[in-house]
Amino acid sequence: MVSDEFMRDGDADSRSSHSERVLITGIGVVLPGTGSVRDFWENISRGRSQIGPLTRFDPQATGIPVHVAAEISGFDHRRHLPDLPERHAAKYSREILIAMSAAADARRDAGLAPGDADPRRVGIVMSSSRGPLSWWRDALTGASPAPFGDMGAMFRGLAGCPASLSAIHLDAQGLVTTLSNACVGGHQALGVALRELRAGAADVMFVGGHEFPITPEVAACYRATGGKVLSTEREDPTRAVRPYNSDREGFALGEGSVVLVLERASFAAARGARAYAELLSVASLNEAAHATTMDLTGKVTASLIETMLTDLGRDPEEVDYFCAHGTATPYNDLAESRALRALYPGRSADRLPPMSSNKPIYGHTFGLAGIMNVAATGLMAHHQTIAPTINLTDPDPECDHDHVAEGSRAARVGLAVSMSFAFGSQTAVAAVGAVS
């Protein structure tokens, strides 16, 4: 239940409050080995990697030395969308149905029933870096027979259809849109939704990500950027992604969808909603510098975090935890570690706030990654437990600080920061707070 404290900036009839709190009241998850928010928490908190042998394409036939991925298997949309007519589902792609399933599960998890909110004040913002790439690949290579031969092709080929079809299913008549901005898109989608809610344009916003990049073309693109970007692990898929470790060699491709329900605190309180956490702020910048490498001094990221916290009236000393982008690539991990050192110049490495990455569990999900991070951070604030970075056995000396590598840790998580980085020299961060 939402406490009365979260109504002090506006009552149930409020239509606009720039300072009103925004709460995360629902989480829907369809990921590898994960069909519910409970599964998600169990996997990240217990360090259960869902990365396994790659089955979507043949590494030998394609000449791409990638052997592992985080793949969804056995998905059945009927479990999540029991009221979706089969004649409609037949027109949609697997990707659309997975994103719609995550949105429907998020609504159920939030306890939102039809009629609880004015449909005109409910919106959806999604993030995806590549949209329906898998469908287009199959359509253009002949893997799908007569792919353009029915009206469903119009749905399956549009990047925005997971959001728009979810909106129809949920009767969301407010702002419905999809962002595509590589790995910072998820955080930016949260920022758009946060502004809608604080401007009084909406009471409820569904914010999600969907990504399905497990194709030889995507693997080849990342391999072409150089070594130690995409893991070449063969023997043990669960060890494929090793952020901050001295022998790290990159990420594994991951797929799926996660959707959050955000509500104005006064609206959530009026309907007696439970809240996982509070979304305090989102900040984003483009360095307008190197196209593929973030600032390696750490100072740009540290400045962005400090500015966001200052705008909130908070201080870096108050941050209890950082949810890292943590891709297990040499530059990303180094840049994040240096950002912490730049943010806390007077602290030794062993006194920096704890930071962990969920990439060893679900791989890299690009446009979905920021949503997943904020979902994970919100659950850590809710459970007052920090999920670990697994596979960290021999830390890079420059990345040797507190990664909670021993396993999940009971800890105060009152204020946390989630980070993301993207091609185009882009950085985005989000602040998440615990609720009583």
Q: Which active-site residues does the annotation give?
A: 183, 325, 364
**Beta-carbon contacts of residue 74 (< 8 Å; ≥ 6 apart):** none
**In angstroms, rounded to a whole number, what is the distance separating the alpha carbons of residues 262 and 205?**
5
Q: How many CB atoms lie within 10 A of CB 414?
A: 15
**Beta-carbon contacts of residue 417 (< 8 Å; ≥ 6 apart):** 305, 308, 309, 319, 321, 322, 323, 429, 430, 431, 432
Q: Which residue has the tokens 């105060």?
A: 412
**In angstroms, rounded to a whole number, what is the distance separating the alpha carbons of residues 161 and 132?**
9
Tokens in use for 354?
């704890």
The phi and psi torsions of 54 (rounded to 5 degrees) equal -70, 130
Taking alpha carbons only, the member of 299, 274, 277, 279 closest to residue 289 is 299
**In angstroms, rounded to a whole number, what is the distance separating the alpha carbons of residues 207 and 370?**
11
DSSP H or E run through 137: helix 133-141
- CA dist 100 to 41, 59, 282, Å? 21, 31, 25
- Burial class from Cβ neighbours inside 10 Å (0-12, 13-18, 19+) for residue 433 reads buried
**In angstroms, rounded to a whole number, what is the distance separating the alpha carbons of residues 377 and 371?**
10
| Helix residue ranges, H only, 159-247 | 161-170, 185-198, 216-224
DSSP letter at 30 equals E
Apex CA 34: angle with CA 333 and CA 265, to 5°? 80
Q: Which residue has the tokens 């459970």?
A: 383
Q: How many CB atoms lie within 10 A of CB 344?
A: 18
Q: How many CB atoms lie within 10 A of CB 182?
A: 18
**Beta-carbon contacts of residue 410 (< 8 Å; ≥ 6 apart):** 384, 385
**In angstroms, rounded to a whole number, what is the distance separating the alpha carbons of residues 179 and 171?**
20
**Contact (Cβ atoms closer than 8 angstroms) between residue 323 and residue 341:** no
